[in-house]
Amino acid sequence: MTEARVKELLAASGKVAREEAPPLIARTAVRFDGTINLGHILTAAAMLTAGASAYFNLDKRVDLQARDIADVAKRAQDSTDRVLKELSDQRDTMKDTNRTINSIQNDVALLRGRAAAEPTGHKR
């Protein structure tokens, strides 16, 4: 916004611009000099400290997560092993039950065979 435009806006609003007032927009050029002062050193040190702190905190988090993942994997493996053992035990129980049932069926068939071979003169 130019100074003429500022005066025009002030005149339109009923206010009068004073000539001795400093301009609203200060036009200063960016100036770089070759000096290094304490502020520069402190700023650089603070940035390096913040970067190192962020890196080490991130490294700690990654290590903790890696340990958590290993722990979860171990618990999952233990759970899987326990379930497989239980299934194996149930399979063995089922085999024993099937053997018992087959033995009973053979015994019943043998008894039926004997009953069929007996003379039919007996009344029950």
* Residues in contact with 8: Cβ distance below 8 Å, sequence separation at least 6, in sequence order: none
Domain edges within the chain? 3-117
If you average pLDDT over every residue of the chain, what do you get?
A: 85
Quote the pLDDT of residue 30. Answer: 77
Quote the pLDDT of residue 12. Answer: 75
- What percent of the chain has pLDDT above 90? 58
CA-CA distance, 92 to 118, in Å (whole number)? 39
Quote the pLDDT of residue 115. Answer: 83
For residue 118, the Cα-to-chain-centroid distance in whole angstroms is 77
CA-CA distance, 115 to 117, in Å (whole number)? 5
Quote the pLDDT of residue 19. Answer: 54
Is the distance from CB of 24 to CB of 1 less than 8 angstroms? yes
Instruction: Convert 77-97 to b/e letters by CB count within 10 Å (16 or more is b).
Output: eeeeeeeeeeeeeeeeeeeee
In the chain the first and final C-alpha atoms are separated, in Å, by 125
Quote the pLDDT of residue 71. Answer: 96
What predicted TM-score, i.e. pTM, was given to this entire model? Answer: 0.44
Quote the pLDDT of residue 124. Answer: 53
pLDDT beneath 50: ranges in the chain: 17, 20
Quote the pLDDT of residue 121. Answer: 58
